[in-house]
Structure 1
Amino acid sequence: MGAIAGLFHPSTPKPVDPARVRAMAAAMAHRGPDGAGEWTAPGVGFAHRRLAVIGGAAATQPVATADLRYAAMLDGTILNHAALRAELRGLGHRFVGEGDAEVVLHGFAAWGPALLDRLEGAFAIAVHDAATQTLFLARDRLGAKPLHLTLLPDGALIFASELKGLLAHPLLRRAPDAAAVADYLALGYVPDDACMIAGVEKLAAGHFLLVERGRALRGARRWWGLPDAGEAPADALLPELRAAVARGAGAARPAALLLGGLGDAAVVALAAEASAKAVATVGVGDDGGVAARFATAHRRARLDDLPALLNDLVAAFDEPCGDPAALAAIVAARGSGPVVMSGAGASLLLEGGRWRRFARRERWRRWRWTLPGLGAAEADYALATGAAEASELWSAARERAVMQRFATAWRGGDPLDAALRTDLATRLPGQVLTIADRAGMAAGAEWRTPFADARLVTFVLSLPGGARRARTSPLVGAVARYLPATPVAAPPLPVSQWLRGPLRAEVARLERSRLLAELGWFDTARIAAGIERHRGGEDAQAALLWRLLVLERSLSRLFGWPASA
């Protein structure tokens, strides 16, 4: 667990300055406060920041084989590292320590890219093979751990866990990507196939990239994808949930976050069922009586000093995150220990409300509620994501491009199944798991998400369609006996009151923003009118104003532009 950063020369093995990769890793020191390491060879350099979760602080990275053929590093946790280590020892591999990065190192030496099929957990990995002069980069199945990469003007490929790691390299050219800004305004997050900095890519979830020196750079290849639908028994859901929570907890005894919602309550319930000691929980606001019901050791965090928290949000995420719940996530993760766990992703995977909105699409078509020029599928997706708000500030053509890109994945077939698959491919890595990763890492904590466990996701996709269409969500049915009599729901954050109260000065600066005016991308008169309507008590403007506020701060931080007049 921690941060990885590196540089590879694909054409010729030029010398690598260790200070360059060291600076890239240092920019992400918050991800790994327990140690740092670096390794260089002709044409390649690795650097790592370590958060000690498995193997202790002594399990430093990068790691290399005794003959120096292979070098590797890992961001994340390999949950089945002990079993894999035993298997590799049986094959004759010798280990120096107990860290899971060594499992990646020797596993790649033994099995090559096929190692990925054996790994369980959240991970981004880098492996160098000196014999074949190749760099291997890979990301976990559902995208829990991030990996950014780009080519520099001198031809070098650089990569890093977070965008700020790339920004630490002086040769990186910083130019904004207008399409990514459009995506953010439409969706509230920057999806994994886009980046605010033009030319920077994110390795897609379930993909690997093999770079061979002296050969043309090929695109990433998929090594895992969402499985086909099946017919699993619905009554097996509870055992599958128990197993996912147990895998997420492991031996770490993590604190459980109560940020609101059924998923968090289910995680606490199942963790408490399996623990002889009180589970440590952290909440922000009302926890719905969950902490008292399960006699947890509860701590309540507070959302104080919102202007400072807004700065923390922008610094932690690099790209804008338009979900105000990210503030609560950052606050809750602080001081909660090196490992935390939550029910993030549960509403997307199992609660079903969002899917049922898709089932009403024929009704939406009859209402003729559509964006100009959009087909029915794109209009449905626009309604489901709230993307229509962005059309007031962005051209209709740009809006159509965003919607078409994300709607094509679920045209045809069962609309509910296709909608879930689209969410798992886009919203899960781009929003849900990004919040968990950045908020956790900003606090120096590994955030584990049992509802993004690949085994559980595979099981849910195999449930009969009728179980997903039921009026009561499958999750409610599975854990009903554990929960309080009153419904457990995430309390809405008072964003409108924030913008009129503690953040009113930030809104005023947004209204005077030189950045938004000078970019020429926005109708600043409409922004000013929206701010005025919000001041007059119109809460409908709050979501878009929040997105714009975060966007302006993020652009200013990424590019050094003036934030306001």
Structure 2
Amino acid sequence: MCGIVGLFDTRGQRDIDAALVRHMNDTQRHRGPDESGIHCEPGLAFGHRRLSVIDISLGQQPLANEDGSVLVCYNGEIYNFQQLRTELLEHGHRFRTRSDTEVIVHAWEQWGEACVEHFRGMFAFGLWDRNRRCLFIARDRLGVKPMFYTMRPDGMFAFGSELKSLLALPGLSRAMAPQAIEDYFAYGYIPEPRTIFQSVEKLPPGYRLTQQMFEPLAQPQRYWDVSFQQNTRLGEDEARQELVERLSDAVRMRLIAEVPLGAFLSGGVDSSAVVALMAGVSSTPVNTCSIAFADKAYDESPYAAEVARQYGTRHYVQTVDTDDYALIDTLAALYDEPYADSSAIPTYRVCQLARQRVTVVLSGDGGDESFAGYRRYRYAVAEERLRRLMPAVARRPLFGVLGKLYPKADWAPRIFRARSTFESLARDLVDGYFHGVSLMSDSMREQLFTPSFRASLQGYRAADVLRAHASTAKLDDPLSLIQYLDIKTYLPGDILTKVDRASMAHALEVRSPLLDHELVEWAATLPPHFKLRGGEGKHIFKRAMTGHLPHNILYRRKQGFAVPLAAWFRGPLRERVCQALTGNGLLSTGIFRSDYLHQLAAQHLSGRRDFSAPIWTLLMFDAFLRKELGNAYAK
């Protein structure tokens, strides 16, 4: 895996400062510590940090075609590169390396912008075609690899793998986008295409952008989307067999490497399935890595150990103190913009452990989105059934009033939180799902933000993100719709961002067989009752893996990478919570109301309410500001 940067002069062929490109490139050294490559010519510069995985001796970048007219810098893996190489050779192209990088160059020559439609893998790359005088950037279909870009006022287009590489540009505006702040305090991350800064955007998953010289900033163009058109002819037994075959193929493709390779093994269904199928196609024992928690309430390591014993893996376990909160400021520097998924802490640690043993790992990411594994899917579908029993004209006022009158019970499991359910039932499916996934509800954000900040939003609501995707999907089935929404938002914005930054911080490459786009496309065509049945998610996946994994692995309650935030904030982090929520830092931004910050702190610290998720979101925003503003913060 790698880090890339690029500068392209859209107004001509001005010289580009090589020292600046080198500085931008070096901000991402952690992504590729093995080698550094820089290419500069009038009007263009590429930088590349390399983590050597395939064709270690000859795969250096930036890499050009035979006459140097096409140049690429690339982050990712094209798993079908060997087949594409054969096809391109038949078309008359000549290769001088065995790397997947060179396939991109010749695929562009052969198919132009459509080259990305031939790639099966994870990727983000920039490509310069001197003859066509254009820069082409693209990102993989599901957003496994990141891509940030900006157009400077002077006509200089810049891109990079991480936001920090663009922040190295002199004079880049650091003005925060109000809509991004609204999004962050709803979702806990900032969905594509926004970043926290108005001046920088993310290229969305499944999009490409062609920037011509002497033209204004081009608009990204979508080249892929997932369709939930159901295949009603497929029987369940046939689907189970095909699922195993497709996942086995996706695993096999991801075992190509010239460096030590292993797998994450949490003991959950997805990672266990990946390890089981890896063991079936590996000639040597699989290396597996797990995190154990000192607090047994959060520890899944016995389940991981059971799978490791079953498949005879070389199993490595590291016990992490549950009070591993010292990473707060490290994470703020790692993610570059506010990011509030607290499972980033154990994810960082398991990547740290894995890198001590291997360079590449396979993960189980993506299974929940494709096969309906999240509990919230069950709740959302059940709520939609209730909505459809009553006309909206009667439902909205009735459940709206009940939601206001019913006492708050955010300490209880979702099934017992009638107030939250009533509030969801008063909305339509998209708004109700948004209400269910929000870290801070509409009413909480309204109380959190100052009137002047709310005015700057000009009526924008974070739910508009989901509404925009829903209007594109045009799906009637509730389960399919919320799966689609998660694939477009939560998967790239939260899950894949978390894994990319945590793994790249340790120069570790993570490959996700369950995110193979052909598998995702096939899973989307399965009837919803194959996925969610009788309140049980991943029905078809668990049935397919019955011969490979024990019952207690497949059907135990989903646990996840949780950390004890509520206890931290009333214990070792109490002083930091008080300092952040009642000090001058957050208030100095003009975004937050002092009385509400004090209320959140007082009610949580006294034990009257559990505001751990909103407080963590505020702490990470505070940590971002400390990193971004430095000594000027709160002075």
Q: Where on the TM-score scale, by shorter chain, does this alignment land: which range?
A: over 0.9
Following TM superposition, by how much is the alpha carbon of 1:320 offset from its aligned partner in structure 2, in angstroms? 2.1
Task: Name the residue aligned to 1:460.
Answer: 523
Following TM superposition, by how much is the alpha carbon of 1:461 offset from its aligned partner in structure 2, in angstroms? 0.6
The question of 1:333 aligning with 2:340 is answered: no
What secondary structure is seen at the aligned counterpart in 2 of 1:54? coil
Q: Which has the larger radius of gyration?
A: 2
Task: Name the residue aligned to 1:544.
Answer: 614
The CA deviation string for residues 314-335 of structure 1, in whole angstroms up to 9 with x for no partner, is 1221122211111111110114
| Contact preservation (8 Å) 2:8, 2:156 | yes
Task: Name the residue aligned to 1:161.
Answer: 161
Q: Kindly tell me: are residues 390 and 303 of structure 1, through their superposed partners in 2, closer, same or farther at Cα, counting changes over 3 Å? A: farther
The CA deviation string for residues 209-235 of structure 1, in whole angstroms up to 9 with x for no partner, is 001112233201111111341314422
Following TM superposition, by how much is the alpha carbon of 1:148 offset from its aligned partner in structure 2, in angstroms? 0.3
Of the three residues 265, 270, 276, the one matched with 1:269 is 276
Task: Name the residue aligned to 1:422.
Answer: 485
Of the three residues 527, 539, 543, the one matched with 1:477 is 543
Greater Cα offset, 390-399 or 491-500: 390-399
The question of 1:360 aligning with 2:360 is answered: no
The CA deviation string for residues 412-454 of structure 1, in whole angstroms up to 9 with x for no partner, is 5111111111111111111111112111111101111122110
Work out the CA distance in 1 between the residues paired with 2:348 and 2:365: 14
Work out the CA distance in 2 between the residues paired with 1:299 and 1:373: 46
The CA deviation string for residues 345-399 of structure 1, in whole angstroms up to 9 with x for no partner, is 2222214433222212343756434779995244312233134446324458859
Task: Name the residue aligned to 1:199.
Answer: 199
Of the three residues 517, 527, 551, the one matched with 2:597 is 527
Task: Name the residue aligned to 1:349.
Answer: 370
Work out the CA distance in 1 between the residues paired with 2:494 and 2:593: 27
Residue 370 of structure 2 aligns with an amino acid whose one-letter code is L
What secondary structure is seen at the aligned counterpart in 2 of 1:410? helix
Supply the RMSD in Å over aligned alpha carbons.
2.4
| Contact preservation (8 Å) 2:289, 2:353 | no
Of the three residues 562, 584, 587, the one matched with 1:517 is 587
What secondary structure is seen at the aligned counterpart in 1 of 2:5? strand
Following TM superposition, by how much is the alpha carbon of 1:561 offset from its aligned partner in structure 2, in angstroms? 6.4
Work out the CA distance in 1 between the residues paired with 2:88 and 2:22: 31
Following TM superposition, by how much is the alpha carbon of 1:307 offset from its aligned partner in structure 2, in angstroms? 4.0
Of the three residues 501, 505, 510, the one matched with 1:442 is 505
| Contact preservation (8 Å) 1:37, 1:60 | yes
What secondary structure is seen at the aligned counterpart in 2 of 1:123? strand
Q: Kindly tell me: are residues 507 and 149 of structure 1, through their superposed partners in 2, closer, same or farther at Cα, counting changes over 3 Å? A: same
Q: Kindly tell me: are residues 454 and 213 of structure 1, through their superposed partners in 2, closer, same or farther at Cα, counting changes over 3 Å? A: same
The question of 1:554 aligning with 2:616 is answered: no
Task: Name the residue aligned to 1:280.
Answer: 287
Of the three residues 463, 467, 471, the one matched with 1:403 is 463
Residue 522 of structure 2 aligns with an amino acid whose one-letter code is F
Q: Kindly tell me: are residues 124 and 107 of structure 1, through their superposed partners in 2, closer, same or farther at Cα, counting changes over 3 Å? A: same
Following TM superposition, by how much is the alpha carbon of 1:276 offset from its aligned partner in structure 2, in angstroms? 3.3
Following TM superposition, by how much is the alpha carbon of 1:562 offset from its aligned partner in structure 2, in angstroms? 4.9
Work out the CA distance in 2 between the residues paired with 1:463 and 1:373: 27
| TM-score (structure 2 length as normaliser) | 0.84
The question of 1:112 aligning with 2:112 is answered: yes
Work out the CA distance in 1 between the residues paired with 2:480 and 2:162: 32
Q: Kindly tell me: are residues 437 and 372 of structure 1, through their superposed partners in 2, closer, same or farther at Cα, counting changes over 3 Å? A: closer
Of the three residues 547, 559, 564, the one matched with 1:490 is 559
| Contact preservation (8 Å) 2:574, 2:605 | no
| Contact preservation (8 Å) 2:63, 2:102 | yes
Of the three residues 301, 322, 325, the one matched with 2:340 is 322
| Contact preservation (8 Å) 1:381, 1:403 | no
Q: Kindly tell me: are residues 107 and 549 of structure 1, through their superposed partners in 2, closer, same or farther at Cα, counting changes over 3 Å? A: same
The CA deviation string for residues 53-105 of structure 1, in whole angstroms up to 9 with x for no partner, is 11115421101123221111111111112222222233332223222211111
Task: Name the residue aligned to 2:261.
Answer: 254
Structure 2 unaligned regions, length at least 5: 293-299, 388-394, 404-421
Task: Name the residue aligned to 2:296.
Answer: none
Task: Name the residue aligned to 1:176.
Answer: 176
What secondary structure is seen at the aligned counterpart in 2 of 1:300? strand
| Contact preservation (8 Å) 1:512, 1:564 | no
What secondary structure is seen at the aligned counterpart in 1 of 2:3? strand
Following TM superposition, by how much is the alpha carbon of 1:52 offset from its aligned partner in structure 2, in angstroms? 0.5
Structure 1 unaligned regions, length at least 5: none
* Aligned-pair identity (%): 33
What secondary structure is seen at the aligned counterpart in 2 of 1:255? strand
| Contact preservation (8 Å) 2:434, 2:466 | no
How many residues in Structure 1 have an aligned counterpart in Structure 2? 565
| Contact preservation (8 Å) 1:226, 1:458 | yes
